[in-house]
Amino acid sequence: MPTILLGMGNPLLDISAEVPQEVLDKYELKLDSAILAEEKHLPLYKELVDAYKVQYIAGGATQNAIRVAQWMSQTPGSTSFFGCIGKDDFGAELQNCAKADGVNAFYKEDPETPTGTCAVLVKDGERSLCANLAAANKFTADHLASVKAKEMIAEAKMFYIASFFLTVSVESLLVVADHAVEHNKIFAMNLSAPFLIQFFAEPMAQALPYTDYVFGNESEATAYGELQGWGTDIPTIALRLAAAPKKSGTRPRVVVFTQGSEATVVAKEGQVEKFPVEMLEKDKLVDTNGAGDAFVGGFLSVLMRKEGAAMEECVRAGHWASRVIIQRSGCTFPKECDYK
């Protein structure tokens, strides 16, 4: 099966554990946030493994979305992924996960640096993410110049990159984005986290004009609106971002903002639509880790089948995928996908 969707991002192994509030306080971490680890966070990883019941799960925002899109497409090999891992056990674990999920991963391997990890602290179903990128940070554009990568890029019809990758290699992102514009292919991004909007505003401003689809959640949308001086009204921010300058004129930009259990906002060509989220009983919620990534994966899986698919269809698939993921630990899913 030829690749339809290609993702590029930071492959991380999630180390997930349920923790009491004092662990969050000790490391100055907030629920429902994602940060990059600083020096003070480094002991956290060992503490989790030593003191709590941990689960190791393939993670990293882009890789999660690609895995879900692959699962929902139900066609082996229709997705692929680029990222950098270490030559170690965690790297081998990520290789195995990608293979088991049917994703054609072509990793750059860095022999000097360990595979990146992400501490996922779960409390009352909410999650706090603290990522130690390590090898994921070593991705460079030379990987894209290899014969295999060039073939994979040429074959793909759509590209998805979360903004977390802006801290790693803007050059690589622009290689893919330029290819997408030149060959009239779909290029999608995610705002990913408020800290990226605040501290990586310049590379984000370089990347966003290439986008045909922009995803984000309510806190990212608000952070972006405030930065641009557009206020905090989410439909307004979505409309203004959808209308912002665009490199390719062949398709209008679509902006999609999820808001947890509140309605998802979609802006396109001066129109805003809201799609309600089906409620889930509180006792069925396991954790929200990966919910946003799963939404993107579900949404893109519909576009993989049909580029001009109705937004209602795409959002419905995204909501369904998120609902599956939040009833499980981390971004994991059953073997069979029974989405209708």
Query: Tell me, what's the pLDDT at 32?
Result: 85
- Print pLDDT tens along the chain (340 aa): 789 999 999 999 999 999 999 999 999 999 988 899 999 999 999 999 999 999 888 889 999 999 999 999 988 899 999 999 999 999 999 999 899 999 999 999 999 999 999 999 999 888 899 999 999 999 999 999 999 999 999 999 999 999 999 999 999 999 999 999 999 999 999 999 999 999 999 999 999 999 999 999 999 999 999 999 999 999 999 999 999 999 987 899 999 999 999 999 999 999 999 999 998 988 898 878 789 999 999 999 999 999 889 999 999 999 999 999 999 977 888 888 999 8
At 313 the three-state DSSP class reads helix
Residue 180, phi then psi, degrees to nearest 5:
-60, -45
Q: Which residues pair with 16 in a beta bridge?
A: 55, 120
Range of the domain at 67: 5-11+60-115+133-326
Q: What tokens appear for 163 in the block?
A: 């903004």
Position 20 in a domain: no
DSSP string, 64-131: HHHHHHHHHHTSTTSEEEEEEEESSHHHHHHHHHHHHHT-EEEEEEETTSPPPEEEEEEETTEEEEEE
Q: How far is it, in rounded angstroms, from Cα 43 to Cα 249?
A: 49
Q: What is the DSSP letter of 277?
A: P
Query: Tell me, what's the pLDDT at 120?
Result: 93
Residue type at 262 in one-letter notation = E
How many domains, in total, are found in the chain? 1
Tokens 């009833």: give the residue: 327
At 267 the three-state DSSP class reads strand
Position 338 in a domain: no
Q: Exposure pattern of 202-239 as b/e (b: 16+ CB <10 Å)?
A: ebbeebbebbbbbbbbbbbbbbbbeeeebeeebbbbbb
Query: Tell me, what's the pLDDT at 340?
Result: 84
Position 125 in a domain: no
Query: Tell me, what's the pLDDT at 64?
Result: 95
3-state SS of 199-241? HCHHHHHHHHHHCCEEEEEHHHHHHHHHHHCCCCCHHHHHHHH
Query: Tell me, what's the pLDDT at 153?
Result: 98
Position 17 in a domain: no
Position 156 in a domain: yes
CB atoms within 10 A of CB 270: 9
Could you tell me if 301 and 314 are in contact, meaning their C-beta atoms sit under 8 angstroms apart? no
At 49 the three-state DSSP class reads helix
293 is known as an active-site residue = yes
Position 101 in a domain: yes
At 257 the three-state DSSP class reads strand
Query: Tell me, what's the pLDDT at 2?
Result: 83
The enclosing domain of 68 has a CATH number of 3.40.1190.20
For 268, residues 6+ apart whose C-beta sits below 8 A from its C-beta are 242, 252, 253, 254, 255, 311
Position 30 in a domain: no
DSSP string, 157-203: SEEEEEGGGGGT-HHHHHHHHHHHHHTT-EEEEE---HHHHHHSHHH
Query: Tell me, what's the pLDDT at 10?
Result: 97
- Phi/psi class of residue 22: alpha, beta or left (left: φ > 0; alpha: ψ in -120 to 50)? alpha
Position 182 in a domain: yes
Query: Tell me, what's the pLDDT at 58?
Result: 85
Exposed/middle/buried for 328, CB within 10 Å: 0-12, 13-18, 19+? middle
The active-site residue out of 14, 101, 110, 293 is 293
- Phi/psi class of residue 85: alpha, beta or left (left: φ > 0; alpha: ψ in -120 to 50)? beta
